[in-house]
Amino acid sequence: MLTKAQVRTAVREYIDDPGAKTWSDAALDILISMTQDNLWGDILDTASYWNSFYQLITSASYHAPGYLDLRPTGDGGDLTNRLYRIQKFIANGREFYPKDSRDFLLNAASSVGLTTVTAPIEQNYTYEILGDQLWFHPLGTTANPGFIELRYSYRPAAFTSIADGTTVGFVDGCEHALVLTAAANAMHRGDEEDPGKFLSLAFEARQRLFATIRRKYHGPTVPFSVSNPIEMGSI
C-alpha cells in the first residue's frame, strides 16, 4: 500500500523530474488521478465486485417523486462513494430491475419530471438512470419505499482529493501499473519525449494487475491429482 506522496515520488523518479520543473505537483496529481480512474474502470470491468459497496438509504435521503442522486455526498449527491456501476437495487425489500430502454413510451412521465403521478404508468419495480439520477418506479410518495438498499461498484477517492500521507486506493501490490501508466502519460507532455518504453512496462504491470484481480484463490483442485495445480504450474 503506497501513500499519495510515495506514488507521486515514484512517478517523478520515472519521468526524471525530481524538482517538479516539468510537472508541478498539482498537474501531476491530476494526471495520476485520471490514470487511476482509467485503471479502476478496467479493474471493475474485469472484476465487477472488486470494489463493491452496500449502502442503506433511508426515505429522508432520496428525492421526490422518487429518485436518488448518484453523485457522492461530497458533491451534493446521496452516495458514499464514487459510483461506477449499479449492481443491485432493493427498495422496501423488493428487488428492482433496470428498465428496458425500449419502453420509451411508458417512460414519458418520469422523463419530463412530473412530480405528481396519479396512475402507475411506468413498469413497476424498475429503475432507470437519467444522468446523475436513478429514478425508480412506481413514482409518488405513496408508493415510495421506506428504505432503499443499494449495492454498487465504485472508484476510490480521487488521487487529487486525498492527503499526501493517505494510502492510495488501488489493488494492493499492483501499484506499479498505476505508477508506470501515469509516468508514460506524463512523458507524452508536448510530444517532447518518447513514452514507448514506459508504455511497454506499463502494459506488463497491467497484465499482472489483471492476473491479481481475476481471482483471489488458487483455482480448482483436481481429485486424485498427484499434486495441486499450483505445483503443476497451471495457475
DSSP 71-134: SBGGGTSSBSSEEEEEEEEEETTEEEEEPPTT-TGGGHHHHTT-S---S--SPTTEEEEETTEE
The C-alpha cell 410518495 sits at: 141
Task: Write out the E strands in the chain.
Answer: 52-58, 67-69, 82-91, 94-98, 126-130, 133-137, 147-155
Least distance in Å: CB of 89 to other proteins?
49
Query: How many of the chain's residues bind other proteins (CB under 8 A)?
Result: 11
Q: Helix axis angle, 196-214 relative to 25-46, nearest 10°?
A: 40
Least distance in Å: CB of 20 to other proteins?
7
Based on CB atoms, which residue is closest to other proteins, 105 or 192?
A: 192
Least distance in Å: CB of 23 to other proteins?
9
Which has the closest alpha carbon to 154: 71, 84, 55, 49?
84
Based on CB atoms, which residue is closest to other proteins, 12 or 155?
A: 12
Type of residue at 183: A
Based on CB atoms, which residue is closest to other proteins, 23 or 96?
A: 23
x/- contact string, 2-21, with other proteins (CB under 8 A)?
---------------xxxxx
x/- contact string, 19-38, with other proteins (CB under 8 A)?
xxxx----------------
Residues between 184 and 213 with contacts to other proteins, criterion CB under 8 A: 190-194
Least distance in Å: CB of 128 to other proteins?
47
Which has the closest alpha carbon to 30: 14, 44, 11?
11
Least distance in Å: CB of 19 to other proteins?
3
Least distance in Å: CB of 115 to other proteins?
53
Based on CB atoms, which residue is closest to other proteins, 21 or 216?
A: 21
x/- contact string, 150-189, with other proteins (CB under 8 A)?
----------------------------------------
Which has the closest alpha carbon to 4: 40, 21, 29, 37?
29
Instruction: Decide the pairing of beta strands 126-130 and 67-69.
Output: unpaired
Which has the closest alpha carbon to 159: 50, 22, 10?
10
The three cell numbers locating residue 231: 505445483
Based on CB atoms, which residue is closest to other proteins, 117 or 187?
A: 187
Positions that interact with other proteins (CB under 8 A)? 17-22, 190-194
